[in-house]
């Protein structure tokens, strides 16, 4: 798809975003044939916190290919950071981000300059996972912050499709659930708002793209690919031998294998290794058996993936997460 670089419209509050929406609706209607009733333009939305990398740009490119209008938000959400986390030092470079988005032909950059939380704000979206397991347990309050700000942003933009990366698997599940459970965007388009989960973009050595990779020292960066190496080994263990379709493994055995590889590769601080249902991300018990892909039941995910292995570690002072689907 050929993209002509034009400067995106930058809007800094919801009032300007509303006006931009009216403008693109009017332009679209004017371009439509008078003989036909124009259908509304489709809107693709990529929410980000800036510090854009190839993973973000992959989401933007997919949105551009599939929609008439593409909106990218850049907003560092304070409510998903705990007091000891990196809110104050999180990378910020709006000018560079806009240049990257301009090259991809993004139509609107929604970059609020004021807090999305008024002084009267008192309503929160609190998913069941918050404070319970994996990211929810490691970062209490994180999913409350994510779910609330994403709810706000989806209501502001009202896209047909919003795009998220698989690297943040539990966040993806939370967002899919809130859109389903709260009927967000239920009247958008013909089938309501859709959440599109896009495969993780990786460096050549397997490290998942992340804005926080910039924190890694040279020594830590050399260790970081161990996450993907360990996850791939776990995936092979689940899928089993090509010569033995009846081979099975247990959750506990896979977790132990991933742990051992991480330790062998120099990862000393391991927060969790989980084998979970890929859609709910709810951890499975160690005694449960994992079946070869060929043996999956008909009610598994349409794309054939049933399981996810996820991990969170700290290398030096940098916290990294990753997952792989099986």
The residue among 178 and 291 whose pLDDT is bigger is 178
Residue 301: what pLDDT? Answer: 44
Classified by CATH at the fold level, domain 9-198 comes out as Rossmann fold (3.40.50)
Domain residue extents for the chain: 9-198, 211-325
**Any bridge partners for residue 43, and if so which?**
69
**pLDDT tens-digit map of 39-98:** 788 999 999 999 999 999 999 999 999 999 999 999 999 999 988 888 888 889 999 999
The Cβ-side half-sphere exposure at 114, using a 13 Å CA radius, reads: 7
Q: Are 66 and 44 in contact (CB under 8 A)?
A: yes
Among all residues, which ones are annotated catalytic? 56
> How far is Cα of residue 23 from the mean position of the Cα atoms in its chain?
29
Q: Are 63 and 163 in contact (CB under 8 A)?
A: yes
Q: What is the mean pLDDT of residues 181-187?
A: 94
Residue 213: what pLDDT? Answer: 95
> How far is Cα of residue 125 from the mean position of the Cα atoms in its chain?
18
pLDDT at 303 over 70: no
Other residues' Cβ atoms within 10 Å of the Cβ of residue 245: 12
Residue 268: what pLDDT? Answer: 94
pLDDT at 153 over 80: yes
> How big is the CA angle at 277 (ends 272 and 278), to the nearest 5 degrees?
95
Residue 191: what pLDDT? Answer: 84
The residue among 9 and 28 whose pLDDT is bigger is 9
The residue among 255 and 6 whose pLDDT is bigger is 255
What are the CB-based long-range contacts (under 8 Å, 24+) for 288-293? 288/250, 288/251, 289/248, 289/249, 289/250, 290/238, 290/248, 290/249, 290/250, 290/251, 290/254, 290/326, 291/248, 292/238, 292/239, 292/240, 292/245, 292/246, 292/247, 292/248, 293/239, 293/326
Instruction: For residues 70 and 73, give the distance between their C-alpha atoms in angstroms, rounded to a whole number.
Output: 10
Give whole-number Cα distances, 69 to 9, 66, 80, 163, 264, in Å: 12, 9, 28, 13, 48
CB-based burial label for 234 (10 Å; 0-12, 13-18, 19+): buried
pLDDT at 316 over 70: yes
pLDDT band of 8, cuts 50, 70, 90: very high
Residue 2: what pLDDT? Answer: 45
Q: Which of 52, 57, 69, 47 is nearest to 149 (CA)?
A: 47
Classified by CATH at the fold level, domain 211-325 comes out as 3.30.1300
**pLDDT tens-digit map of 97-150:** 999 999 999 999 999 999 999 999 999 999 988 878 899 999 999 999 999 999
Instruction: For residues 45 and 69, give the distance between their C-alpha atoms in angstroms, rounded to a whole number.
Output: 9
Annotate 184-234 with three-state secondary structure.
CCCCCCCCCCEEEEECCCECCCCCECCHHHHHCCHHHHHHCCHHHHHHHHH
**pLDDT tens-digit map of 220-277:** 999 999 999 999 999 999 988 443 556 678 999 999 999 999 999 999 999 999 999 9
């Amino acid at each position: 798809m050929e993209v002509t670089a034009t400067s995106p419209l930058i809007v800094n509050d919801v009032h300007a975003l509303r006006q931009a929406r009216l403008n693109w609706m009017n332009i679209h209607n004017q371009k439509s044939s008078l003989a036909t009733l124009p259908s509304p333009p489709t809107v693709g939305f990529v929410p980000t916190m800036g510090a854009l990398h190839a993973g973000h740009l992959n989401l933007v490119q997919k949105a551009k290919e599939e929609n008439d209008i593409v909106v990218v938000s850049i907003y560092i959400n304070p409510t998903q950071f705990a007091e000891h986390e990196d809110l104050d030092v999180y990378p910020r470079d709006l000018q560079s981000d806009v240049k990257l988005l301009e090259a991809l032909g993004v139509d609107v950059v929604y970059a609020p300059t004021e807090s999305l939380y008024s002084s009267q704000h008192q309503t929160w979206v609190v998913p069941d996972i918050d404070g319970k397991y994996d990211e929810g347990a490691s970062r209490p309050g994180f999913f409350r912050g994510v779910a609330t700000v994403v709810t706000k942003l989806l209501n502001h933009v009202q896209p047909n499709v919003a795009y998220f990366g698989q690297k943040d698997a539990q966040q993806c599940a939370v967002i899919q659930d809130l859109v389903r459970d709260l009927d967000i965007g239920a009247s958008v388009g013909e089938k309501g708002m859709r959440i599109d989960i896009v495969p993780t973009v990786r460096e050549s050595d397997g490290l998942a793209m992340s804005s926080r990779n910039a924190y890694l020292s040279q020594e830590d960066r050399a260790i970081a690919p161990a996450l993907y190496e360990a996850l791939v080994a776990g995936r092979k263990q689940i899928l089993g031998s090509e010569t033995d379709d009846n081979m099975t493994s247990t959750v506990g055995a896979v977790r132990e294998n991933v742990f051992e590889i991480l330790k062998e590769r120099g990862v000393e601080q391991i927060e969790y290794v989980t084998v979970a249902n890929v859609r709910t991300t709810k951890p499975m018990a160690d005694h449960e058996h994992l079946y070869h892909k060929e043996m999956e039941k008909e009610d598994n995910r349409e794309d054939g993936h049933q399981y996810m292995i996820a991990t969170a570690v700290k290398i030096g002072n940098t916290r990294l997460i990753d997952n792989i689907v099986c």
